[in-house]
Amino acid sequence: MDREFTPSKRTNARRRPDRVRYDKAAVYAVLDASLLCHVGYVIDGEPFVTPTAFWRVNDTLYWHGSRQNNMINKVTGERARACVTVGHLDGLIAGRSGKGTSVQYRSVMAFGHPEAITGRDAKRRAMNVFIERMYPGRTEEIRPALDQELDEITVVEMLIEEASVKVKTDGVIEMREEDYEVPAWAGVIPIEMRVGKPQSDGRLAGNVQPSASITPYEEGVRLDGVLARLAVRQKAG
Amino acid sequence: MDREFTPSKRTNARRRPDRVRYDKAAVYAVLDASLLCHVGYVIDGEPFVTPTAFWRVNDTLYWHGSRQNNMINKVTGERARACVTVGHLDGLIAGRSGKGTSVQYRSVMAFGHPEAITGRDAKRRAMNVFIERMYPGRTEEIRPALDQELDEITVVEMLIEEASVKVKTDGVIEMREEDYEVPAWAGVIPIEMRVGKPQSDGRLAGNVQPSASITPYEEGVRLDGVLARLAVRQKAG
C-alpha cells in the first residue's frame, strides 16, 4: 500500500509547503482524532457544506444518513465528487501584533467520488464498524439493527483519491525583532475538546452501569485522544 | 431589520423541519459561539472545503488570508458563491440500539457571494474588529498593522443571503418500547470545547501579565461561551 497520497492540482500546496503533507499516517491521524467532518458537494454549480459524523477504514471514509437526506443523495449521484474536510482548532496564538496573532490547527481535505452502499448485509456490517469505532464491544450489548432500519438509511463510502493534511503548531512568531519589545502578554491559549460528565438516560433497565464500551469516555479526557485510540485498526499486509 | 432569513431551495428543510430554524437570533448564536468555520466553494465544477477563522458583524461574515491564498481568491471571484458552515459537536448519544445511537450538535449553513475588501483603511478596520472580537481591548495594546502587512492580505466579507440553523439536543430516543428493556447503559456523553492552560511566549517584554483582553480565556472555561460573550454587539436600530 502506498504510504503517500499523490499531490494534485487540488491538493498541491502553493504557499507554505512546510505546513502541508501528503503522507497517509499524518492524514489518518487528523481524521481519526475526529468524529465530525464537513462534506462539501455541488448542486447546480453551487457549493454546499454539511457537517456529519464519519469513520475511516484504511483509505475509505464512511458516513450515513436517511435515504431522504439531500446531501447523501447528491454526493452519491452519478460522477458526483465530494471534499471531506476535518478541522481541529487547537489553540489561539495571541501575538504582540496582528501579524503575530493566529490560531493553531490540524486539518485534512480529502477528495473522492462517494458511492452508496446498497444491500442490507453490507449496510449492517458498515454500521457495526461505526458503532464499534465509537464504542468498542457495543454491538454485542445493544439490540441489532432491524431490516427496516437498514432499509431507511444510505451508507456512503468514499475512497480517498487525493488528500492533504495541514498542521500548525507554532507559538507566537513576530515578524520584526522590535515587535518583541511591545509590552503586551503574548502566548498560546490551548483549545481542547473534552468529555463532560456522562448523563444516564432516565429509563435504564435496572441498575446497568457503563460497560467497557462506554468507559473510554471518562469525564475530562480529551475527545481527540479517545477517538484516535479507538480508531479502526488497519489490517496488516 | 428582518428577524428571519427566508427559506429557499437551498435551506428549506425537507425532513425533520422541527430541527431547522431560520430566525436570525438562533443563527447568530451558533455562529458567534465559534471561531472556526468551513468555507465551501467550487472550482471547475468541483467542491472544496477549507477551514478558517471567521467573525460576524450583523448579517455579514468575514474571514481573511494571504493575497496568494487559493480559497480566498476563488471565493471572491466574479459571481462566485460560498457556503459557510459552522458545526459544533455537543455530545455522543449512546442508545440501546443503532437507531438510538446518534450525536448532539448545533450547525449553521450560510450562503452568499463573498467579496474582497480592498483598501488599507477598510482592511485595517476589519482586522481590528476581528482582534477585538477575540481579545477585547487588545488593539490598544499591540503594535498596529503596517501598511505592507495589510497589503499582503485579503479580507473577505459575505453578506448572508440565506441561512438555516439545525440543533439537536435530544437525549436517547428508542423507536420501540421494548428497546428500553435492553440491559445496556444508555445516555449522553457531553462534548465540550474548553480552554487549556495559557502558555506564555518565551520572549515576553519584562514581567507583563495577561491583561483584560486575555483573561476571558481562563483555564477550564468553555470556548463557545467565551466567544459568544465576546461577539461583536449588534448596533441598535
d(CA B189, nearest CA chain A) in Å? 4
In whole angstroms, what is the distance from residue B2 CA to residue B91 CA? 32
CB of A38 closer than 8 Å to CB of A71: no
In whole angstroms, what is the distance from residue B52 CA to residue B65 CA? 9
Strands B60-66 and A20-21: unpaired
Cβ separation A98–B131 shorter than 8 A: yes
Q: Residue A72: in which H helix or E strand, if any?
A: helix A70-75
> Given CB atoms, is B120 within the 8 Å cutoff of chain A?
no
Out of A42, A48, A214, whose CB is closest to B185? A214
Q: Is residue B85 part of a domain?
A: yes
* C-alpha distances in Å from residue A25, one per residue of A55, A60, A63, A109, A129: 16, 14, 21, 14, 20
Q: Is residue B7 part of a domain?
A: no
Which residues from chain B sit within 8 angstroms of residue A192, using beta carbons? 193-196
d(CA A117, nearest CA chain B) in Å? 17
**How many domains, in total, are found in chain B?**
1
Closest CA to A41 of A66, A73, A10: A73
Residues in chain A: 237
| Residue pLDDT tens, chain A, 237 long | 689 998 888 888 777 788 899 999 999 999 999 999 999 999 999 999 999 999 999 999 999 999 999 999 999 999 999 999 999 999 999 999 999 999 999 999 999 999 999 899 999 999 999 999 999 999 999 999 999 999 999 999 999 999 999 999 999 999 999 999 999 999 999 999 999 999 999 999 999 999 999 999 999 999 999 999 999 986 554
Name the region of B235 (left: φ>0; alpha: ψ -120 to 50; beta: rest): beta
Q: Is residue B3 part of a domain?
A: no
Q: Is residue B2 part of a domain?
A: no
Closest CA to A200 of B3, B10, B187: B187
d(CA B141, nearest CA chain A) in Å? 6
CB of B202 closer than 8 Å to CB of B218: no
Query: Grid coordinates representing B176?
Result: 420501540
d(CA B180, nearest CA chain A) in Å? 7
Cβ separation B190–A183 shorter than 8 A: no
Q: Other CB atoms closer than 10 Å to residue B224's CB: what's the count?
A: 20
- ipTM score: 0.96
For chain B positions 144-183, those within 8 Å of chain A (CB to CB) are 144-146, 149, 171-172, 175, 179-183
> Given CB atoms, is B24 within the 8 Å cutoff of chain A?
no
Residue A15: predicted pLDDT: 75
Q: Is residue B4 part of a domain?
A: no
Residue B102: predicted pLDDT: 98
Residue B222: predicted pLDDT: 98
Which residues from chain B sit within 8 angstroms of residue A200, using beta carbons? 185-187
Which residues from chain A sit within 8 angstroms of residue B200, using beta carbons? 185-187
Residue B18: predicted pLDDT: 83
Closest CA to B5 of B230, B159, B235, B234: B159
For position A117, which CATH number holds?
A: 2.30.110.10
Domain that holds residue B154: 17-236
Q: Is residue A6 part of a domain?
A: no
> Given CB atoms, is A113 within the 8 Å cutoff of chain B?
no
Cβ separation A223–B191 shorter than 8 A: yes
Which residues from chain A sit within 8 angstroms of residue B189, using beta carbons? 195-196, 198-199, 214, 217
Cβ separation A196–B91 shorter than 8 A: yes
Q: Is residue A9 part of a domain?
A: no
> Given CB atoms, is B36 within the 8 Å cutoff of chain A?
yes
| Residue pLDDT tens, chain B, 237 long | 689 998 888 888 777 788 899 999 999 999 999 999 999 999 999 999 999 999 999 999 999 999 999 999 999 999 999 999 999 999 999 999 999 999 999 999 999 999 999 899 999 999 999 999 999 999 999 999 999 999 999 999 999 999 999 999 999 999 999 999 999 999 999 999 999 999 999 999 999 999 999 999 999 999 999 999 999 986 554
Mutate: best of B143, B168, B173, partner A, most A CBs <10 A: B143
Give B70's contacts (C-beta < 8 A, 6+ positions apart). A14
In whole angstroms, what is the distance from residue B104 CA to residue B118 CA? 40
Cβ separation A188–B210 shorter than 8 A: no
Query: Grid coordinates representing A124?
Result: 449492517
Helix axis angle, A24-32 relative to A223-230, nearest 10°? Answer: 120
Q: Is residue A12 part of a domain?
A: no
